[in-house]
Structure 1
Amino acid sequence: MDTRVLNYFLTVAKTGNVTKAANKLHITQPTLSRQISDLEKQLNITLFDRTNRHLRLTKAGTFFKKRAELILELVSQTEKDIHTQESELSGIIRIGCVESSASTWLMKIIKKMNHHFPNVQFDIYTANGDDLKEKLDQNSLDLALLLEPIEAKKYNYLPLPIHDTWGIITTKDDELSKKKAITTDDLSQIPLAISARSLVRNELAQLLDLNINKLKIIATHNLASNPLQLVKAHMTYLLGIDGILTLHHDPDLTFIPLIPKTTTSHIIAWKKNTYLSPLTKKFLKLISDELNQK
């Protein structure tokens, strides 16, 4: 399948109009229409709903759009990786990162890599573990900094000696801020914002012997930055790790650990049975050396 045609298709999908897309691509409208028609025949599907003047993707077209974007991204990354092998070490490392204290550590490693190899660039993507693992599976990321637990059968990984503690984040003027620790009974009596990840919830439930269904959950989230605003508005408490405040330091907020003490560890993961560029291998070597020194 010609990547040029994939680019034609994505341009039409973005503009919703063949004429506008043709102008943007600097080709004629009949040529572009013929290329899209040939693509549909090749795939034996209808990519666009042509019932009105503005082209809309069909269900099959929406699916194909995601795959076309992934294919072009992989082609582009492959070209960059080949260039990396044939010239001075340069290129892009695509790193996914959760919000935790370990991300601060990772940024220091990135700084070291930049010091040794100033031509290297970093594409840093912040998200929760589910999103990061999906992008690893799609080869949209080279590496990901994740909180445990993960499905170890799918990934290679390096364990990191960095641990975050679970607890609640609240305002310093809140009544609970005077407590040294939060019990499971406390959790069942207060409104909470909690991670949307079922894997995290199940892990907490098991460690704390806690019935998640009995909690008063006001909001779920994939990243903690916005729910922290609900905490500041005295609407809810954030059930999360202390590393969140390490990243989003706010003098009005405080962290109270859970009792019994509950911690989580970190890993650097990459997909099994996948090609690692020399650049990514060099970065992993830097991480490994740093861990061995400690």
Structure 2
Amino acid sequence: MDTQHLQAFVAIAETGSFSAAAERLHLTQPAISKRIALLEEQLKSPLFDRIGRQIALTQAGQVLLSKAILILSEVTAAQRAIADLKGEVEGKLSIATSHHVGLHYLPPFLREFSTQFPQVKLDLHFLDSEQAYYEILQGRFDLAIITLALEQDSRLKSHNLWHDQLHFVAAPTHPLAAQQNLQLADLSRHPAVMPDTNTYTTQLISKLFETQAATLDIGMVSNHLDTIKMLLSIGLGWGVLPKRILDSELVILNVAHEPIMRPLGCIHHSQRSLNNAASMFLQLLQRDQHQPLPPTHQ
């Protein structure tokens, strides 16, 4: 059974689309369709029901999916293990990272790593932290460097690298900006601009509001902190942002609360051995854990 055919099958099953799968695998849609046709011919069973533009796994497809994921994972592990026997740091290093971490923390480390190990091909993907967790669990990336979950999945290994201090902020013209000794209940009277409610950051803030029986009124949503910063700067609400990205466009609100620390770090699958490149990159991150390299400004 050809692993390229299985890759196409898994990509379609996970994206729900032949075109999206083709984009993921950097192939044309006819090439993807041909691989599925050959796989269905080999298995003598249809793998997808095609109803208009919608596709769904057949019963045979459902049976094959978990097996295909396992087969591809084992093939990748075997390739890594054989390559690592040489003791050389080479091959591909696939990393998933959130936009905030990728833009404001990783650049110095990526620069140093690529200088030390130019033979490694860096494969960097920007995803929401929650999506990156899922992708690591599926074995698609070597490492994810993201906001850590409030509750860690037992299948993952987690390395705490930094703490992002979060502040309540708003534009200088916002009504809350001139007030002193604010309570969370005072913020409840004004809409907030926050990441989506299923993100780890908003879950953290929601729990804080719950402890004081205050209501978190989210008026607008964006998962990109730099977008939130822009929306706040023009007075569309108050928000919570890392100290690292604050500037004169926003003011820190005088809210009575304990410091809010958001853990940032690296995760990888506990049952997937790290290749030499991933191990060296993780060592680089951990070496400067307590004295991180200076932030990179855009």
1:92 positional shift: 2.4
1:216 positional shift: 1.8
In structure 2, C-alpha distance between the alignment counterparts of 1:23 and 1:102, rounded to whole Å: 31
1:272 positional shift: 1.3
In structure 2, C-alpha distance between the alignment counterparts of 1:22 and 1:256, rounded to whole Å: 51
Aligned residue number for residue 226 of structure 1: 227
What code does the residue aligned with 2:272 have? T
Aligned residue number for residue 91 of structure 1: 91
SS at match of 1:145: strand
Give the alignment's TM-score, normalised by structure 1: 0.71
Aligned residue number for residue 108 of structure 2: 108
What code does the residue aligned with 2:143 have? L
Q: Which runs of 5+ in 1 are unaligned?
A: none
C-alpha distance 147-292 of structure 1, shift in aligned 2 (>3 A): closer
1:154 positional shift: 3.1
Aligned residue number for residue 40 of structure 2: 36
Aligned residue number for residue 139 of structure 1: 139
1:264 positional shift: 2.3
Report % sequence identity.
Answer: 16
1:40 positional shift: 5.7
Q: Is the 8 A contact 1:144 1:270 kept in 2?
A: yes
Q: Is the 8 A contact 1:136 1:270 kept in 2?
A: yes
C-alpha distance 26-182 of structure 1, shift in aligned 2 (>3 A): closer
Aligned residue number for residue 264 of structure 1: 262
1:277 positional shift: 0.5
In structure 1, C-alpha distance between the alignment counterparts of 2:32 and 2:103, rounded to whole Å: 44
Write out aligned runs for 1:169-248 (5 A).
169-178=169-178, 182-195=182-195, 196-197=197-198, 199-207=200-208, 209-211=211-213, 214-243=215-244, 245=245
Q: Is the 8 A contact 2:193 2:220 kept in 1?
A: yes
Q: Which runs of 5+ in 2 are unaligned?
A: 22-26, 293-298
1:130-151 CA distances to partner (integer Å, 9 max, x unpaired)? 1121111011222222334341
The Cα RMSD (Å) is 4.3
C-alpha distance 8-215 of structure 1, shift in aligned 2 (>3 A): closer
SS at match of 1:291: coil
In structure 1, C-alpha distance between the alignment counterparts of 2:260 and 2:32, rounded to whole Å: 59
SS at match of 1:167: strand
User: Of the two, which has the highest radius of gyration?
Assistant: 1
In structure 1, C-alpha distance between the alignment counterparts of 2:7 and 2:228, rounded to whole Å: 38
Q: Is the 8 A contact 2:8 2:32 kept in 1?
A: no
Q: Is the 8 A contact 2:77 2:272 kept in 1?
A: no
